Amino acid sequence: MGTLTPSNRTEQGPEPQAPPIWTVINDGIKGYLLAIQDYSELAWWSLADIFSPPFYFRDLLEQMDVIGVGSLPIIMLTGFFIGAIMVLQTSSQFQRFGATALTGNAVSLALIRELGPTITALLVAGRSASGIASELGSMVVTEQVDAMRAMGTDPGRKLVTPRMLAAVIVLPLLTGVADVVGLIGGYVVAHITLGLSGPQFWHQAIEAPNANDLIQGLTKPLVFAFIIATVGCYKGLKVRGGTQGVGRATTSAVVIASVSILVSGFFLDKLLMWMFPG
């Protein structure tokens, strides 16, 4: 067996080198900025398309049913137990300071100002943002979106705007349902654990919120709904890679929408507290 000589060795090219770390960081930043730009454009046109024809009222009503009525059972169940848990966790402190009559006050303000809008939005994001991304992603994979463009239909006007508008309409209503059911859950536990009567609890619960609290509690769902619908549509329309891409887009839509709700909620609180003090 002959030895391997330079003449009969297989010539190999230089080994590929990893790109510099600054190149990777630069490309990543550019990718995120491009994604933000694309999302901003989609969100802007979803609003602009509201004010010009054609209008797809059938799609709007269908999405209101899917997002609103479909989410109602889970919102009611969760809202009831949120109110019940609040009273259960705080009842010992109210008893300690002899302020059990303020239970309805605390539950009402917490639900209306923060917990109701935020928890409702997170639940709808988990259910509807994933559903929107999955549905539109499947349409992209099966080339139905391309077929719409070929027939002269604007996919943004047909697919994005009805979903955004439906979410903006139904989420404040779902938040109101969550608040009311949460107060019912709080009353049930307060009656059992603290012995509060109905008039004691409901008088404080109704009298505690003022106009500023109601404005804050109904403004945040509008912004949260816009985020949920547009993020779900954006991730669905940007699907690449077949059915695996649909799964990744669905997961990404829920994560991004949930984080965006919590982050935007902080800034909305600061803004609304500045605009409506007291």
What confidence score (pLDDT) does residue 138 get? 87
What confidence score (pLDDT) does residue 180 get? 92
What confidence score (pLDDT) does residue 1 get? 46
pLDDT at 5 over 70: no
For the chain, give the mean pLDDT: 84
| pLDDT tens digits, one per residue of 150-163 | 888 888 888 889 99
Report the distance separating Cα 269 and Cα 112, nearest Å: 13
229 vs 192, higher pLDDT: 229
| Domain spans in the chain, listed from the N-terminal domain onward | 26-275
Handedness of CA 265, 266, 271, 273 (dihedral sign): positive
27 vs 278, higher pLDDT: 27
What confidence score (pLDDT) does residue 201 get? 81
pLDDT at 92 over 90: no
Please calculate the CA angle 197-202-208 and round it to the nearest 5 degrees: 135
What confidence score (pLDDT) does residue 17 get? 67
Exposure of 13 in the CB half-sphere (CA atoms within 13 A): 2
| pLDDT tens digits, one per residue of 211-247 | 888 888 888 999 999 999 999 999 988 888 777 888 8
Averaged pLDDT for residues 120-128: 92
What confidence score (pLDDT) does residue 231 get? 93
What confidence score (pLDDT) does residue 25 get? 77
